[in-house]
Amino acid sequence: MIYVQLVTMLAVLQFAFFGMLVGKARVTYNVPAPATSGNEVFERYFRVQMNTLEQLVFLLPSLWIAAAYFSPRICAVLGAVYLFGRLVYLRSYVQDPKKRSAGFGLSFAPTLILAVMALIGIVRALARGAAGA
């Protein structure tokens, strides 16, 4: 589980880093708080951060539940693909939002796989009578 823990912390730190980039963009493009619009490039950084938050809500429980039923190393590898995908998403979205698809796919697909794995693991456990309730 150490690799799952590592991926979890890297995902949280990546999100914090994206938040710092939003803060830097806020200053660079003169978008004073609490505004979330006013400069297109700032808005791109902001959307990357918000989309990453939306993905984290999907990733983290899926990662941990899947790792409880399947190989934690495989789950961690899927999580690492997510992390790479988020970096690709950041770079492509800030350059040209129309080119964000690859990064989105590289982060959404492994998360979806983890969610399906988690659900399969839960259903199997329920079928075995391991509900614990």
Q: What would the pLDDT profile of 101-114 be if each residue is shown by its tens digit?
A: 999 999 999 999 99
Q: How many domains does the chain have?
A: 1
* Gyration radius of the chain's alpha carbons: 17
Angstrom distances, CA of residue 22 to CA of 50, 63, 76, 87 = 10, 26, 27, 14
Average pLDDT over the chain, rounded to whole?
96
| Residue 132 is assigned to a structural domain of this protein | no
With 0.85 as the threshold, say if the pTM is over it.
yes
For the segment 87-93, the average pLDDT, to the nearest whole number, is: 98
What are 64-85's pLDDT values in tens digits?
999 999 999 999 999 999 999 9
| Residue 56 is assigned to a structural domain of this protein | yes
For the segment 89-103, the average pLDDT, to the nearest whole number, is: 97
Residue 111's CATH number: 1.20.120.550
pLDDT at 133 (0 to 100): 53
Quote the percentage of the chain above a pLDDT of 90.
96
pLDDT at 131 (0 to 100): 57
Instruction: Report H helices in 1-100.
Output: 2-28, 40-69, 72-95
Asked if pLDDT for residue 63 goes beyond 90, the answer is yes
| Residue 133 is assigned to a structural domain of this protein | no
Q: Domain range for residue 10?
A: 2-127
What value, to the nearest 5°, has the Cα angle with vertex 78 and ends 5 and 76?
A: 25
pLDDT at 129 (0 to 100): 86
Longest dimension (CA), the chain: 58
Asked if pLDDT for residue 60 goes beyond 80, the answer is yes
